[in-house]
Amino acid sequence: MSSGCPPQSPAVAKSEVSVEGECPLLAATFAYWDNILGPRVRHIWVPKGDQLMFLSDGEVTFLANHTLNGEILRSAECGAVDVKFFVLAEKGVIIVSLIFDGELKGDKNTCALSIILPQTELAFYLPLHTICVERLKHVIRKGRIWMQKGYNIISVLSLEIVPIMELLTSMKTHSVPEDIDIKDTVLNDDDIGDSCHEDFLHKAISSHLQTCGCSIVVGSNPEKINKIVRTLCLFLTPAERKCSRLCRADDSFKYDTGLFVQGLLKDSTGSFVLPFRQVLYSPYPTTHIDVDINTVKQMPPCHEHTYNQRRMCHLIFGSQSALTQRDENSAFTL
């Protein structure tokens, strides 16, 4: 990295995020255009612990400022979010920036929410790019409303920045491989009768295909969960498999919106609380498969799923009451 980077401003706040494992994300930043001082960084998020590449605070600030250069004459529709992808080979990093208009201290400003990764992680990140961008766009919509009301946007952005760091970390260690050995699935002749009832498998695969390849597999046995996950991933493209995740043996991951297939471990009481809103934010309806009791539940088809998404967004962003408990209970049908 260049040693000529400008020093970090004392006004820049920084949050260190604890993640389990080696996070491929170097930093996330929120910057805005100041009409007097130019691009300014408001907040920096960095993962705590070992990283693939070290960036000083001054270097992160320099890179974040780079994302707003040339945006002073930005002309976009109201509410638009522009996505920009920078590959800075001379710095050895890639930057994904979401440019949007917001209100800071009563003034309209051009803002940028960015994530920074090493260039060596480009092939790993590209399949997950759409998932990360859509989740960041959603939190920007919420943040814009908070900015208009004069609230602190940083706390809202943190609600998605931290989970994205955790998601990328988990995908480095537990993503589904492109090539799946049939012996690692329940389609193995020796396993079909012992570990998976035929009718249950038929229902699981049928529902999985009906929900565009999006499924959640829950249970208490991580080996059994992962066998079902690999089986369902046989019906996905190689790119979609890169957006699927195996179950962790010792502790459950959180549900992550946008993944195609993900295995989730139940807690010690034998239960798993599914975050209703996050499931509804998923781009496609979802199949819920419980390998402990051999049940398959399915969300409504795509057109109803899209309608329910928009309805919930209107309720939340319109500052009205949230969906009722009845709505949550009817999210999945038998």
Q: Encode pLDDT of 81-112 as tens digits.
A: 889 998 888 889 999 999 988 877 667 888 89
Share of the chain above pLDDT 70, in %: 84
- Which band of pLDDT confidence, cut at 50, 70 and 90, is reported for residue 235? very high
Residue 152's CB is within 10 A of a number of other CB atoms, namely 11
**pLDDT given at position 318:** 61
Q: State the DSSP H helix or E strand holding residue 277, giving kind and residue range, or none if neither.
A: helix 276-281
With a cut of 80, say whether residue 71 has pLDDT above it.
no
- Which band of pLDDT confidence, cut at 50, 70 and 90, is reported for residue 40? confident
Residue 163's CB is within 10 A of a number of other CB atoms, namely 18
Geometric angle at alpha carbon 164, from 56 and 315, rounded to 5°:
130
With a cut of 60, say whether residue 2 has pLDDT above it.
no
Which of 243, 240, 223 is closest to 292 using CA atoms?
223
**pLDDT given at position 146:** 82
Which of 303, 307, 308 is closest to 328 using CA atoms?
308
56 in helix, strand or coil? coil
- Which band of pLDDT confidence, cut at 50, 70 and 90, is reported for residue 281? confident
Measured between alpha carbons, how far is 245 from 272 in angstroms, rounded to an integer?
17
Measured between alpha carbons, how far is 173 from 153 in angstroms, rounded to an integer?
32
Measured between alpha carbons, how far is 225 from 90 in angstroms, rounded to an integer?
43
Measured between alpha carbons, how far is 151 from 238 in angstroms, rounded to an integer?
43
Average pLDDT, stretch 294-322? 77
Share of the chain above pLDDT 90, in %: 37
**pLDDT given at position 320:** 40
Our separate counts of H helices and E strands in the chain read 11, 10
Of 1-10, 192-201, 215-224, highest mean pLDDT = 215-224
Measured between alpha carbons, how far is 220 from 217 in angstroms, rounded to an integer?
10
- Please answer whether residues 110 and 101 qualify as being in contact, where contact means their C-beta atoms are separated by less than 8 angstroms: yes
Average pLDDT, stretch 220-243? 94
DSSP string, 91-122: TTEEEEEEEEEEEETTEEEEEEEEEEEEGGGH
CA 237 to chain centre: 20
With a cut of 80, say whether residue 43 has pLDDT above it.
yes
DSSP string, 160-182: HHHHHHHHHHHHHHHBPPSS--G
With a cut of 50, say whether residue 325 has pLDDT above it.
no
Average pLDDT, stretch 26-43? 85
**pLDDT given at position 94:** 92
With a cut of 60, say whether residue 322 has pLDDT above it.
no
Higher pLDDT, 150 or 268: 268
- Phi then psi for residue 68, to 5 deg, are -100, -5
